[in-house]
């Protein structure tokens, strides 16, 4: 294991560290160590442009304090002024970087991963994800391919007070009694959402039923939150609530359930929010941006009503880029990352939940809205563990699997599709099958996952 003594700041660290689809992420004590965090902080401090402060936030993981402190050490060694926000959602860092004119930001979080993992997400000035070119410069610094600057003496300040600014940003355009009379269940996942979610909903008049509502670094994402909806669905039914929201560990995404306990995923949210924006004349070209994971039922329903749908690769940074290129106002992922240009183009689970709840008219329920949206095609996703990164990334070169995918798509003849992709954050190959028939989906998902398991792990 790397340690600080053998890796002074600015010195070559590792040739194997690289940014995935959402920063650097891994097992604490394995990939994620204080030594790595300090080096990333140092090189990030040199790469970021502008003279403003660098903001740091973290989720509730027990390792967050340690990694935040190491990042601070690296950033201040690069001469940066650091403002530490403490426990907060990832989008709070992005939004406050923009509001405060900061040089950039860092979030210590592994999002929906288990408690033993952690990660580092970096933001540039303006609050956008760090550009690939800047990521490559940091990676080059870690490999010792860039000259280190003389160590400087930056400073660090506790600025949890800025979270009040973030809460105010989320409330913009919403009335104090906007959610009056609505009972809403919030699954806060023991994570970042515990910092301000319940307070926000109550300030808008909602009656809040709270699940997993205190920060707990040993329980974050365990059997709860947006990756485990059963507790939320049960609580909504038992409490007689109209709707419920489940956040992931760092609260940059959200999934909802209606009063009947039915899932309202990112596709449904895009359809509902997009319809409201279109009705208000605030959705240019009737265009939504989604990813390759979005449901065919969603696409066909949206386009049949005169809308347009642009698909991207999986990852909110790809959605963000496409929205900027196309001038789109709304986009997101089925998993609940939703971006809206009217609110700064930052994926924010709390913002999405508030806006979705506020769409409902007096006497209208989320179930009513869901019934008016679309019928999803049956879809199943299976994760196949493939430890070998090269085989995982280059699965198309596995002839038996590639041929099976082609055969499945030919037999579905336009009434279904197959998506196989390597995860950008975990050693998994994700296999998804979607079709008009559940039986067809079940047949092909089992067949393809078995072939991937056999062929890529031998």
Active site residues: 111
Half-sphere exposure of residue 274: CA atoms within 13 angstroms, side-chain side: 31
Listing DSSP states for 330-377 in one string gives: EEE-TTS-EEEGGGTS---HHHHHHHHHHHPPTT--HHHHHHTT-PPP
Calpha distance 254→126 (Å, rounded): 23
Evaluate whether 82 touches 59 at the Cβ level (below 8 Å). Answer: no
- 133, with CB counted inside 10 A (0-12, 13-18, 19+), is exposed
- 148, with CB counted inside 10 A (0-12, 13-18, 19+), is middle
Calpha distance 402→322 (Å, rounded): 28
Q: Are strands 308-312 and 287-291 parallel, antiparallel or unpaired?
A: parallel
- 439, with CB counted inside 10 A (0-12, 13-18, 19+), is exposed
Q: In degrees, to the nearest 5, what angle opens at C-alpha 224 toward C-alphas 222 and 228? A: 105
Please state, in angstroms and as integers, the Cα–Cα distance from residue 403 to each residue in 63, 388, 395, 397, 411, following that order: 44, 21, 11, 10, 12
Evaluate whether 13 touches 41 at the Cβ level (below 8 Å). Answer: no
Q: In degrees, to the nearest 5, what angle opens at C-alpha 357 toward C-alphas 216 and 182? A: 85
Helix (H) or strand (E) holding 55: strand 54-58
Distance of CA 56 to the CA centre of its chain: 17
Calpha distance 59→111 (Å, rounded): 8
- Interhelix angle 438-456/399-412, nearest 10 degrees: 170
Q: What tokens appear for 348 in the block? A: 């924010």
Task: Label residue 105 left, alpha or beta by phi (over 0 means left) and psi (-120 to 50 means alpha).
Answer: beta
Listing DSSP states for 177-218 in one string gives: TTTTT-EEEEE-TTSGGGGTHHHHHHHTT-EEEEES-S--TT
Q: What tokens appear for 458 in the block? A: 């031998």
């Amino acid at each position: 294991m790397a340690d600080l003594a053998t890796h002074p700041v600015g010195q070559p660290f590792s040739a194997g560290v690289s940014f995935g689809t959402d920063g650097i992420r891994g097992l604490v004590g394995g990939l994620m160590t204080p030594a790595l965090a300090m080096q990333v902080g140092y090189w990030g401090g040199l790469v970021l442009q502008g003279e403003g402060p660098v903001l740091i936030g973290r989720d509730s993981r027990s390792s967050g304090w340690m990694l935040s402190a190491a990042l601070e050490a690296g950033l201040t060694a690069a001469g940066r002024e650091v403002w530490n926000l403490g426990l907060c959602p990832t989008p709070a860092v992005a939004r406050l970087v923009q509001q405060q004119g900061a040089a950039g930001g860092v979030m210590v979080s592994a999002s929906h991963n288990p408690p033993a993992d952690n990660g580092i997400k970096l933001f540039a000035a303006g609050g956008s994800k760090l550009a690939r070119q800047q990521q490559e410069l940091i990676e080059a610094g870690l490999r010792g391919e860039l000259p280190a600057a003389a160590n400087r003496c930056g400073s660090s300040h506790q600025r949890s007070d800025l979270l009040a600014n973030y809460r105010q940003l989320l409330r913009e355009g919403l009335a104090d009694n906007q959610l009056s009379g609505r009972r809403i269940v919030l699954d806060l996942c023991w994570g970042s959402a515990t910092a301000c979610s319940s307070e926000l909903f109550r300030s808008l008049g909602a009656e809040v039923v709270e699940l997993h509502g205190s920060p707990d670094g040993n329980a974050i994402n365990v059997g709860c939150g947006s990756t485990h909806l059963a507790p939320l669905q049960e609580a909504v039914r038992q409490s007689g609530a109209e709707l419920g929201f489940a956040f992931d560990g760092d609260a940059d995404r959200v999934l909802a359930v209606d009063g009947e306990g039915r899932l309202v995923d990112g596709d449904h949210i895009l359809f509902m929010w997009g319809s409201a924006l279109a009705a208000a004349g605030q959705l240019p070209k009737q265009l939504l941006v989604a990813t390759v994971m979005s449901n065919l039922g969603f696409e066909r329903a949206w386009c049949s009503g005169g809308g347009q749908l642009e698909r991207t690769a999986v990852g909110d940074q790809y959605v963000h880029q496409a929205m900027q290129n196309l001038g789109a106002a709304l986009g997101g992922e089925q998993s609940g990352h939703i971006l809206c240009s009217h609110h700064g183009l930052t994926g924010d689970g709390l913002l999405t939940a508030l806006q979705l709840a506020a769409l409902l008219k007096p006497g209208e329920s989320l179930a009513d809205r869901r019934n008016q949206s679309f019928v999803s095609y049956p879809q199943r996703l299976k994760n196949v563990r493939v430890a070998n990164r090269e085989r995982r990334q280059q699965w198309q070169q596995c002839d038996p699997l590639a041929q099976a995918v082609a055969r499945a798509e030919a037999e579905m003849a336009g009434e279904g599709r197959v998506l196989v992709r390597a995860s950008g954050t975990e050693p998994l190959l994700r296999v998804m099958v979607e079709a008009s028939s559940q039986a067809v989906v079940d047949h092909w998902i089992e067949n393809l996952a078995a072939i991937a398991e056999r062929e890529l792990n031998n």
